[in-house]
Amino acid sequence: MTYSEKYMAGLLDADGYIGIRCRIGARTDLVVEISQRAMYSDICDSFKEQFGGHTTSKHDGKHLGVAMKCGRARMCLERLKGYMVVKRQLSTDFIKLVDEADVLKSAESVLAFRATAKAIKLQPQTFMPNYPSRKWLAGYFAGDGSFSVKVCKKTGYAYPTAAVLSEPRYSNGIRLLHKAFGGNICTLSDGNILWQLQLSQPSKTREFLEHFAKHLVEKKAQAYFLLGCASNGNFRDGNAIREIIKSLNTQQHRLSDPAGESAKLVRDIRFDIAKKKVGRPLKRQSDQLELTQ
């Protein structure tokens, strides 16, 4: 399967590494790496088919990656950076830095070049388009996004949430999502930035997921399941919805037809549960009498 360049740009924004190789007596080289869980090896195969490079195995074979250097890395960045959001400026700056560099003739020159590259990499990425493209968002959410569900103890309703976690210098991706769809952004104790979007309102679920769900590879089953619940009007069968999302988060790689399987799962959800009253409880009649005396 061949993935679109917009999807691969979003994935590189989320799970990609862009760097520079420095050696004494040689010109500097661009380096690009992408990593995915082994169950999604077709994504790595698509990168390798389109840009070349070599496959790597990580974490005892649980993850696969594709590493590209020199001309192959440049070709990858030149073709994808126009669709990238998070690392577009970094790609442009690194290409320029490599083009203008001389042969590194000493250990000192290598250290100085690495310091320059590190300073560029630490700069905040500020590029911000008007709206996230559908395929880019599918790749980006596949890399850094997640779905979870909490259940209200009082009503039993499900409160699904879409979330994306980011390093501070790469937070323009989630700030773009915040600009487009709303939600909340917070800084965690480890310094990372978290964007969360509540999907408990069916209209919000459809607004967000209908924008890119059909382009997803990872997390497609979860997205289609939540869309199915939203189409039926409510998320009142909270415990059942939470358990299905938990199951899909761990088992979806076994699904040959995520959309079809999610449609079957929606049929197991009860949408006839009566709406429960929420809000402050009414005062008892005896309390009201005391207040009027």
- pLDDT for 44 equals 79
Final residue before a domain boundary, out of 122, 147, 164: 122
The CA–CA distances, whole Å, from 46 to 1, 40, 73, 85, 123 equal: 7, 11, 15, 21, 30
- pLDDT for 135 equals 96
Low-confidence ranges of the chain (pLDDT < 50): 285-293
Q: What is the CATH number of the domain that holds 197?
A: 3.10.28.10
Q: State the Cα–Cα distance between residues 45 and 47, nearest whole angstrom.
A: 5
Under a CB-based contact definition with an 8 Å cutoff, are residues 142 and 213 in contact? no
- pLDDT for 266 equals 94
Residue 282 forms part of a structural domain: no
Segment 73-129, tens digit of pLDDT: 999 999 999 999 999 999 999 999 999 988 999 999 999 999 999 999 988 888 899
- 251 in the same domain as 195: yes
- 97 in the same domain as 193: no
Residue 262 forms part of a structural domain: yes
Range of the domain at 36: 5-122
Q: State the Cα–Cα distance between residues 246 and 148, nearest whole angstrom.
A: 7
- pLDDT for 231 equals 95
Residue 287 forms part of a structural domain: no
- 163 in the same domain as 118: no
- 139 in the same domain as 95: no
User: What's 14's DSSP letter?
Assistant: H
- 183 in the same domain as 118: no
Structure tokens at 69: 């250097």
- 239 in the same domain as 209: yes
- pLDDT for 84 equals 96
Q: State the Cα–Cα distance between residues 222 and 244, nearest whole angstrom.
A: 9
Final residue before a domain boundary, out of 102, 122, 142: 122
Rg over alpha carbons for the chain, rounded to the nearest Å, is: 24
Q: State the Cα–Cα distance between residues 100 and 56, nearest whole angstrom.
A: 30
Reference 141, options 160, 167, 166; nearest CA is: 166
The CA–CA distances, whole Å, from 132 to 103, 217, 231 equal: 40, 17, 24
Residue 271 forms part of a structural domain: no
Domain count, the chain: 2
- 112 in the same domain as 185: no
- pLDDT for 251 equals 74
- 235 in the same domain as 140: yes
Q: Is 25 helix (H, G, I), strand (E, B) or coil?
A: coil
- pLDDT for 60 equals 67
- 174 in the same domain as 88: no
Sheet bearing 16-21, strands edge to edge: 16-21, 29-37, 63-69, 54-58
Residue type, 96: K
- pLDDT for 290 equals 47
- 192 in the same domain as 90: no
Under a CB-based contact definition with an 8 Å cutoff, are residues 21 and 150 in contact? no
Residue type, 71: G
Residue 90 forms part of a structural domain: yes
Q: State the Cα–Cα distance between residues 23 and 250, nearest whole angstrom.
A: 42
Residue 279 forms part of a structural domain: no
Structure tokens at 41: 């090896």
Q: State the Cα–Cα distance between residues 9 and 140, nearest whole angstrom.
A: 8
Residue 277 forms part of a structural domain: no
Residue 286 forms part of a structural domain: no
- pLDDT for 275 equals 87
- 58 in the same domain as 109: yes
Reference 226, options 162, 165, 177; nearest CA is: 162
- 108 in the same domain as 140: no
